[in-house]
Amino acid sequence: MVMSRAKNLLTPVAFALTLIVVIEGLKRARMLPVFVPAPSVIFEQAYTHRAVVIDNLMPSLRTAVAGYLAAVVITLTVACIVTLVRSLKEPVYSFGVLLNAIPIIASAPLLALLLGNGPRMQVVITALATQFPILVGAIQGLSNNAPRQRELMHTLSASPWQTFRYLRLPMALPYIFAGLKIAAPLAVLGTITAEWAGADRGIGAMMLYALFSYDTVTVWLSVLLCCLMACAAYLLLSLLEWCALPWARVRGGVE
């Protein structure tokens, strides 16, 4: 099991390193366009201007985490209510689909006019970008329990809370974590989009300023930082899932 986990972790890392080496070689051979810098140049830019990078990275991390946690708390609460009140399932699903169908890049300026360009607007946009996968995973998971298991809980005179605690929630956790893992990279995307709508600092703001000044190296550095944030968020949720679902780990259900 440990070897399998190590292999699953090392495979994408090895692929990324190989890709970096290939791009570096192609750039040195002058086989790439001028607007694609060599990875070594991007890493040098990150090291030379590390204070600027950190100064823009921290606000983006705070916004992404705040928006993600807000979406998790609100969406899981709504999913629990929907599980108890079945008639709300279709309206809540429809509203979630409607929110997810609205392009974040289009709603960001409107929310900026309504809420201003401060952190509150950025957190709201991040939460909106994140909510739908969590909602679908939570509702599907909490609704996924076999009739025989419900009958067993009824035979044991379990209260609704005990049924939720010992049946619905454990069976829903794999679905919930699936939604959480999908939503984690979306939180980064929502944060970057929110910063494009108006922010003084952040990776999105750094990217936007670099675009306007034709600083392609900084643009690619911003893209790389976004990818690293998204991958780190996904890996963190995968680790939490592995720790929280020992029974699935034993069955081999959590890779």
pLDDT given at position 64: 95
At 253, phi and psi to the nearest 5? -80, -20
pLDDT given at position 5: 57
Q: Name the residue among 176, 186, 49 with its Cα closest to residue 130.
A: 186
Task: Report the chain's terminal Cα–Cα distance, integer Å.
Answer: 9
pLDDT given at position 192: 92
Neighbours of 2 (CB within 10 A): 6
Q: Average model confidence (pLDDT) for the chain?
A: 84
DSSP string covering 150-206, please?
HHHHHHTT--HHHHIIIIIHHHHHHHHHHHHHHHHHHHHHHHHHHHHTS-SSSHHHH
pLDDT given at position 51: 92
User: Domain 37-251 adopts which CATH fold?
Assistant: MetI-like fold (1.10.3720)
Burial tier of 20 (Cβ tally within 10 Å: 0-12, 13-18, 19+): middle
Q: Name the residue among 253, 109, 117, 121 with its Cα closest to residue 175.
A: 253
Question: Residue 95 carries which side chain, given as an amino acid letter?
Answer: F
How far lies 78's CA from each of 91, 96, 149, 190, in Å?
12, 11, 24, 21
pLDDT digits (tens, 9 = 90+) for 179-236: 999 999 999 999 998 888 877 889 999 999 988 888 899 999 999 999 999 999 998 9
pLDDT given at position 176: 92
Provide the residue ranges of all domains of the chain, joining segments of one domain with +: 1-32, 37-251
Residue pair 134/72 in contact (Cβ under 8 Å)? The answer is yes
pLDDT given at position 177: 93
- Whole-prediction pTM value? 0.86
pLDDT given at position 71: 95
Please list the ranges in the chain whose pLDDT falls under 70. Answer: 1-9, 145-146, 151, 154, 157, 247-255
